[in-house]
Amino acid sequence: MEKAARRMKNPSTSVHEAIALRRMSLVQHIIELIHQHWPLSAALDQVASSHPLPGDNDAPPQFVAKRTLEDWYYAFKRGGFEALKPKLRCDRGKPRRLSPDQQRWILERARSFPGVPVKLLYRQWKQADPTLPALSAIYRWLEHNDLDAQGRRYLLRQNIPGPTKAFEAPGVNDLWIADFSPGPFLALHPKTIATHLCVILDDHSRLIPFAAYGLAADTQAFLRCLKEAIRRRGLPRKLYTDNGGPFVNDHLKIVCANLGIRLIHSKPGHPWSRGKVERMFRTLQQDFEAGLRLPGQAAGSLEELNGKLSRWLQEIYHPRDHDSIGESPQERFARALSLLRPLDPQLDLDRLFYTRLDRVVRKDGTVRIDNELFEVNLALRGLKVQLELDPWVFNPILVRYKGQDFGVARKVDRHLNSQIQGGGHYDRA
């Protein structure tokens, strides 16, 4: 809020009051906690960790510092609401130590290279004109002329060809959008591990068919989420992703082809075409993940983290009205239940999502998977077979050769094999 106010050339009294009201809401929360016999320090910690500030789409949530909250609290006690209004510098927006020629020169070059960071441009400018003031003065001059980071991003987007119009799929499950985002860290003894969030979003209803945190952002993690999304919410007609490794591979193409799903990849260099899912990531960061920082709310395991996420989606996000559609995702999705594409009851969904591995059967009738030996039919010795398996379970491991089924592969039991005379093969079915 304060950042938005600073972008205005001539802030009005109403803007000052809006900022003061924002500060007042936080101060009131502190006062309420103190009335509940909270120590001042604890009340400041609570408010500082539970009220994220609005920010850019790609930026992590930011919070008001404890020291700043303390200053506002004492300022309110001394001067009331008026003391919470921001104080403007008398020289605000006026370039100090910048000549008129320098002012024009900087604006021309900032507009000419909107995609280059100002810090990098400044190095070149300083070499061409050693009399330039500090970088902070350059930032103030650019901000005064609507050429701050937001203004320069707008210029950059105007220079990129191609459609950038807002769109929405005409119906539920017409289009699913999928992507990965870095998740919170888990403090697991003896180390801290990073998580990765996979989200699948229905474009029309804004409902989340499925989302889950994992330890990797790869094809297997995405396929696992996609399978659960289909199992819970039906079949989409189109699947829209970026060009990352988890989404550009033959396995996903085969899955989509078998299910009648059209796989679409966004154009390279057009990240805003997936703006809805990026906005969803921001909501998750500022609402759900920020809540994990509250006392007693941290997740102790990956399973607990996903359980908390599932409850947040079902109890908070899905029933809550969405600003873009004027109703809740739950309501919009429910109205179209009769129009959803059902799964073929004869379809083995689990098998369709199995990982497929090619292996040559060794002379002893075994194949190797992740340094583990598995036995197959002895008739397949020396032949190249295809193994189909769930990568998280490894049971069963289906064996196929030239389109025919040859049973399942079994993990080698060396102790049992040692008891079989003549090195014969055994069946433990």
CATH of domain 175-339: 3.30.420.10
What residue spans define the domains of the chain?
2-84, 100-158, 175-339, 354-423
> What is the structure's pLDDT at 306?
95
| Residue 257 token pair | 């082809």
Q: Do domains 175-339 and 354-423 have the same CATH topology?
A: no
**Binning pLDDT at 50, 70 and 90, where does residue 162 land?**
very low
Q: What is the C-alpha separation between 177 and 398, in angstroms, rounded? A: 32
The CATH number given to 354-423 is: 2.40.50
pLDDT band at 332 (very low <50, low <70, confident <90, very high): very high
Spatial separation of the C-alpha atoms in residues 146 and 9, rounded to whole Å: 9
Q: Which pLDDT score, from 0 to 100, does residue 136 have?
A: 84
User: In this predicted model, what pLDDT tens digit does every residue of 227-273 receive, in sequence order?
Assistant: 999 999 999 999 999 888 889 888 888 888 888 899 998 876 555 55
Rounded mean pLDDT of the chain?
81
Quote the strand ranges of 298-428, DSSP E. 355-360, 366-369, 372-375, 384-389, 397-401, 404-411
Task: Name the more confident of 239 and 160.
Answer: 239
Q: How far is CA 192 from CA 176, 183, 297, 307, in A?
A: 33, 13, 17, 19
Round to whole Å and give the CA distance between 377 and 398.
Answer: 11
Mean pLDDT of 157-183: 74
Angle of helix 118-128 relative to helix 100-112, nearest 10 degrees?
Answer: 130
Q: CA-CA distance, 197 to 407, in Å (whole number)?
A: 36
Predicted structure pTM score: 0.55
How far apart CA 114 and CA 116 sit, in angstroms, is 6
Q: At what angle do helices 13-35 and 66-79 cross, to 10 degrees?
A: 100
pLDDT range class, residue 190, cuts 50, 70, 90: confident
Cβ atoms within 10 A of the Cβ of 222, count? 25
**Residue predicted with more confidence, 21 or 212:** 212
What's the DSSP call for residue 295? Answer: T
- What integer pLDDT is reported at residue 199 of this predicted model? 96
pLDDT band at 1 (very low <50, low <70, confident <90, very high): very low
Q: What is the pLDDT of residue 10?
A: 39
Percent of the chain with pLDDT over 90: 26
- Min mean pLDDT across 50-64, 310-324, 414-428 is at 414-428
Backbone angles phi, psi at 321, to 5 degrees: -60, 135
388-414 mean pLDDT: 83
**Helices 135-144, 100-112: inter-axial angle, 10-degree rounding:** 80
Confidence of residue 166 (pLDDT cuts 50, 70, 90): low
